[in-house]
Amino acid sequence: MLGQGRQQRAEHARWRDEVRRDAYTTCISASKQLSAAWWKMADLLADDSSSAEERQAGFVRAHDAWTEFSGSVAAVAVVGQRSVADAADAFRQALYEMDMVGLAWYEAARAPGHAGVDEFNARFVSAATAKRQPDKNFQIATRAALNTET
């Protein structure tokens, strides 16, 4: 009986580690997709020749990518180690700031006269730059949790 209990605990630990690994890698992938969607959207917003339909489609892609990323962070919060969940939350906050700047830029571009649109490129680049350290911290926490440094 004692051996069976150990085996069950070992199987549970393997299952938990696999679920965590999947959640962590899904979150990393979703963050890259979100970032790419917003950079493509930034290109559309900075291009005076892009159409309203192109910008709308770009915004929908960015919004969908945000939904995927946000869901992946929630999964990390549920199954991840505390250090990884905390790093994922800080990363989510940094990407949220980038998302909000992108949304404001998109709204300004849709407004009559496009008032203040030029200022958003610099704000977007600043927000995108600010997400680098939280991204790195999340990856460091993930490597430590998965013990992949060796």
**Whole-number Å distance between alpha carbons of 114 and 48:** 11
Say which DSSP state 111 is in.
S
The residues, ordered by sequence, that sit 6+ positions from 139 with a Cβ below 8 Å of its Cβ are 28
DSSP secondary structure string, 3-21?
HHHHHHHHHHHHHHHHHHH
User: What's the confidence (pLDDT) of residue 81?
Assistant: 95
CA distance readout (Å), 114 to 104, 109, 139: 11, 5, 38
3-state secondary structure of 115: coil
User: What's the confidence (pLDDT) of residue 2?
Assistant: 59
User: What's the confidence (pLDDT) of residue 111?
Assistant: 81
**Domain extents for the chain?**
2-146
Is CATH 3.30.360.10 the right assignment for the domain spanning 2-146?
Answer: no
Q: What percent of the chain has pLDDT over 90?
A: 74
Q: What percent of the chain has pLDDT over 70?
A: 95
Residue with tokens 């600010």: 130
Lowest mean pLDDT across 16-25, 72-81, 114-123: 114-123
DSSP secondary structure string, 45-107?
HH-TT--HHHHHHHHHHHHHHHHHHHHHHHHHHHHS-HHHHHHHHHHHHHHHHHHHHHHHHHH
Assess whether pLDDT exceeds 90 at residue 37: yes
Q: Which two tokens stand for residue 45?
A: 């917003």
Buried-state track 11-22, b at ≥16 Cβ within 10 A, e below 16: eeeeeeeeebee
Assess whether pLDDT exceeds 70 at residue 146: yes
Assess whether pLDDT exceeds 70 at residue 48: yes
Query: What's the average model confidence in pLDDT over 94-112?
Result: 92
**Whole-number Å distance between alpha carbons of 63 and 10:** 40
